[in-house]
Structure 1
Amino acid sequence: MHRLPDDVSRELERVVRRWRELPADRALAASPAVRDVVQDLADATAGQPVPDLGPGVLIDQLRVLVWDAASAGVPELTERLADLRRSLP
């Protein structure tokens, strides 16, 4: 796959945009929810633990894992991203 499906791409960019708007303290507080999604996607694709590199890198980890998940055909990816976005403070 050379590109993300349009709906996944749109929702991923919405999550990224929202994440970038968060003040540092709110991003830190929201990190566990994002980490859970990152690890769930890693479990669904590679089955490997994702290192906790902090909130500054977390959104990049999400981007990579979304690509992996889309390539692997993980179901309901758009919905999972939308749920994550709505959970961000």
Structure 2
Amino acid sequence: MGSPTPHEVSDELRRVVERWHQLPLDHALSRMPSVRALVQSLADRVAEARGHDAEPVPDLGPATVTDQLSVMVFDLFRARPDADPRVVADELADLRRSL
């Protein structure tokens, strides 16, 4: 079974991850709150789709935050196949531009 993540979202996620890996550590640390906010927003949507209470996503640092982002994007489209890919792609593009 293939990924539930739409192509346009996968492409933008890849761009975010590539940009993140190019950042100097001090800049990455300064941008962590915005990345974590999107990770948490996605996690909250996944919890809601599954009928669970939202829980905080642990802060595992800048080395793993894009892994967390990738997992939450995947989980969102697994839990909500009807989620609008344009909305998520736009959120990812906004994040990338802020980096």
In the alignment, which residue of structure 2 is the partner of 1:8? Answer: 9
Identical counterparts, % of pairs:
52
- Please give the alpha-carbon distance, in whole angstroms, between the structure 1 residues aligned to 2:95 and 2:76: 15
Question: How well do the aligned residues superpose, as a CA RMSD in angstroms?
Answer: 1.2
Query: Are 2:22 and 1:21 aligned?
Result: yes
| Deviations 1:3-38 (CA, angstroms, capped at 9, x unpaired) | 121100100000000000001000000100000000
Secondary structure at 1:27's aligned position in 2? helix
Runs of 4+ in 1 over 3 A off after TM superposition: none
Secondary structure at 2:68's aligned position in 1? helix
Q: How many correspondences in the alignment?
A: 88
Q: Which amino acid aligns with 1:44?
A: R
Secondary structure at 1:52's aligned position in 2? coil
Q: Which amino acid aligns with 2:90?
A: E
- Please give the alpha-carbon distance, in whole angstroms, between the structure 2 residues aligned to 1:22 and 1:74: 30
Deviation of the 1:49 alpha carbon: 1.4
User: Which structure 2 residues correspond to residues 46-65 of structure 1 after superposition, within 5 A?
Assistant: 46=47, 47-65=54-72
In the alignment, which residue of structure 2 is the partner of 1:86? Answer: 97
Secondary structure at 1:56's aligned position in 2? coil
Larger radius of gyration between Structure 1 and Structure 2: 2
Q: Which runs of 5+ in 1 are unaligned?
A: none
Q: Which amino acid aligns with 2:56?
A: P
In the alignment, which residue of structure 1 is the partner of 2:83? Answer: 74
Q: Which runs of 5+ in 2 are unaligned?
A: 48-53
Secondary structure at 2:60's aligned position in 1? coil
